Chains A and B, each alone.
Chain A
Amino acid sequence: MNSRQLAETENKSLVSGHRACAGCAFPVITRTILKSSKDPVVITNATGCQEVVSTIYPYTAWKSSFLHTAFENAGANISGIEACYQAWKRTGRIDQHINFVAFGGDGGTYDIGLQSLSGALERGHDFLYVCYDNEAYMNTGIQRSGATPFGADTTTSPAGKVRQGKSQKRKDLVKICAAHNIPYVAQASISNLMDLSRKAEKAFSIRGPKVLVVLSPCNPGWRTATDNMVELSQLAVDTCFWPLYEIEDGHKYTINLTPREKKPLTEWLKLQGRFKHLFKPGNEALLVEAQKQVDEQWEQLQAHAKMGV
């Protein structure tokens, strides 16, 4: 699929009328991924912004079948749906191929939903899990999660007089998923929309569990402007904070894009109010630490990719 085809593909999923904030990235992520499916889709969604803004009864923004039940169980909900499909397929009650897609934010994926996702990956259900990662519990009012970057100021890791935001590193969800030795795990960004679409197409072409982790800028949570989600995504890629890469069968690493010039992390941080305190005098060491974490992650990733299989 090229960009023109992508634009012209009928939107069968999240349609206009939903109440996501202006400048929110997950509608773009959702539409791009679901437009990349040639087959019908059935969707399940962990509790979070995406579900809350799209299904306020009696309205729905979903044109394909959609199930939401709770926060921590998108992996288990999709398992049950897919199991029913498999039983029906085996007994001849259904023939059409369906792509089963579960969406969750970072809270519903890195944290409370990690167990149910792990179980679903291990059991080998045929589905795609998409984590739209906005790096905190945004729906409940910007609390830190396992995905929140080092140093970020959130309502439960506030920058105060003696503590300067989140003091821990992020969890590596891509590696955790890959450690299940599933066919396909990839990290993507809306700044590279055709890379995201290609990854979704690839995922849909593979039977078994697949995972896409996509950065989802959140202007209320990141304290950024409402017109720069693409720029923020691009800088995350260009600084190697959010490298574009994929892991096949648990061990085959491919870096999809190596920035011509790796920009300093501060280029990305300085656009976001949640990192403002890191630029205050006395916090220089924190900026150094944040850069070090990104450098180490990028070096490790390159080493893995160099090893090939």
Chain B
Amino acid sequence: MSDTTKKAFTGADAASWAMKQINPDVVAAYPMTPQTAIVQNFARYVADGLVDTEYVTAESEHSVMSATIGAVAAGGRAMTATSSAGLALMAEMVGVASGLRLPMVMAVANRALSAPINIHGDHSDVYLVKDLGWIQVFSEDPQEVYENMIMAVRISEHPDIQLPVEVNQDGFITSHAVERVDVLEDATVQEFVGQKKLDKYLLDLEHPVTIGPLELQDYYFETQKQRNDAMFKAMEVIPQIEAEFSKITGKIYGWLEEYRMDDAEVAIVVMSSTAGTAKGVVDAMREQGKKVGLIKPRYIRPFPADALVASLKKVKRAAVMDRAISFGAEGGALFNELSSAMYQRDGQTHMQSILFGLGGRDITPADIEGIFQGLLDGDEQLIKYVGVRE
């Protein structure tokens, strides 16, 4: 294990510190609450000469992603950050980045989409772009943000993947709450991420390249299949890169984290900061002899169906918690995808969809205990709102 230094960091600090240590060629950024803290920190690193990065203060999020795309196509390593409306505005270019197979890392402090306008945390922004070909990883706390950011560079740039990675953290709840973060030495991070390996890039004057051609009925479909193939290739590559990083940090990562699942009868599936809250509830209910457990998915793209279903099959009943509504759908997006995966694998686990926490609405330990108790009591309600007034 490598040496670390203790820092009192918010999730935003953790993301920007990782960016500083990665020292990319280009960062393009635009202020967007609650992500702004990330790019403000980074601007300070630029102003103080702590990085070699060219910092592009774009005039919109659409231009942020367009400039990041330009920088990566040129041959550079480029990073950015956004939230909510910013992610929605850049959505067109989010799909272009993965469609052109341009590796990059974007920190996202997840925040509710308008309308009504709301600056607080939920997952409606990331759910909007989850099918646009980015690897989607979620972070429970600032420590996980930091580590995911560093691993994301290697995952994204792996020659068999070449897809952008979005590193998610909960807006304000994680991005603005201070926790202890153990950070690695700059040299350790630099050695782990290494130099970007270049193949075809615009600044290679000896080998000019056309990037972003028009593909019609004869080629477009194959290109899309290749993008999807790369996602599934990531299923093989991500565990390898995580294992390599584990040697540095001594931690275990994986598609999901199981918490007290070994003899659990019921489980909650929930991502990001809420998993932290739920762990406390699991401990408290275990004290009362109730066999409850937690599954925290770390990735939803690629979707680790085998790993999630294998974990879910350990319990009789499970509640899948989505911090966003897919309006008009039968339950949350993660719930639906998991239900489908469960059905395809002949799983018998009874599944319930929980919709919670929109626009930063608090999710309390009592709320989570209520969900567990419902599962233990055989609650048959398919879709349940938690924490909303009727």
Contact = CB atoms under 8 A, between A and B. Distances in A.
A77 interface: yes
A229 to B, nearest CB: 24
B249 interface: no
Interface stretch (A118-126, A168-176, A191-199, A208-216): A118-126
Interface of A: 40, 42, 44, 51-52, 55-58, 60, 62-70, 72-73, 75-88, 90-91, 94, 96, 98, 115-116, 118-119, 122-123
Given A66-B211, A76-B62, 6 more contacts: A55-B210, A55-B214, A65-B211, A78-B70, A87-B54, A90-B54
B56 interface: yes
Contact of A80 (B28, B52, B212): B28
A57 B219 contact: yes
B275 interface: no
A66, A82, A87, A116: residue with the most chain B Cβ atoms closer than 10 Å: A87
Interface string B64-103: 1011111111111010000000000000110010001000
B132 interface: no
A73 to B, nearest CB: 4
B52 A81 contact: no
Contacts of A62: 208, 210
A88 B202 CA distance: 13
A67 B78 CA distance: 16
Contacts of A119: 58-60, 63
B204 A65 contact: yes
A122 B68 CA distance: 18
B215 interface: yes
Contacts of B62: 72-73, 76, 116
Nearest to B26: A83
* Prevailing SS type, chain B contact patch: mixed
Contact of A115 (B59, B74, B211): B59
B70 A77 contact: yes
B2 to A, nearest CB: 25
Contacts of B214: 51-52, 55-57
B213 A56 contact: yes
Nearest to B211: A67
Contacts of A79: 28, 56, 58, 63, 66-67, 70
A4 to B, nearest CB: 27
Interface in B32-64: 52-54, 56-60, 62-64
A44 B219 CA distance: 22
B196 to A, nearest CB: 11
B205 interface: yes
Q: Among the interface residues B69, B74, B208, which one has the most CB atoms of the partner chain A within 10 A? A: B74
Given A70-B96, A91-B52, A115-B63, A84 B70 contact: yes
27 contacts: A44-B70, A58-B219, A64-B208, A65-B202, A65-B204, A65-B209, A66-B211, A69-B66, A69-B69, A70-B66, A70-B96, A75-B63, A76-B63, A76-B64, A76-B70, A77-B70, A80-B73, A81-B74, A81-B202, A84-B75, A87-B52, A87-B76, A88-B75, A98-B205, A116-B60, A116-B66, A119-B59
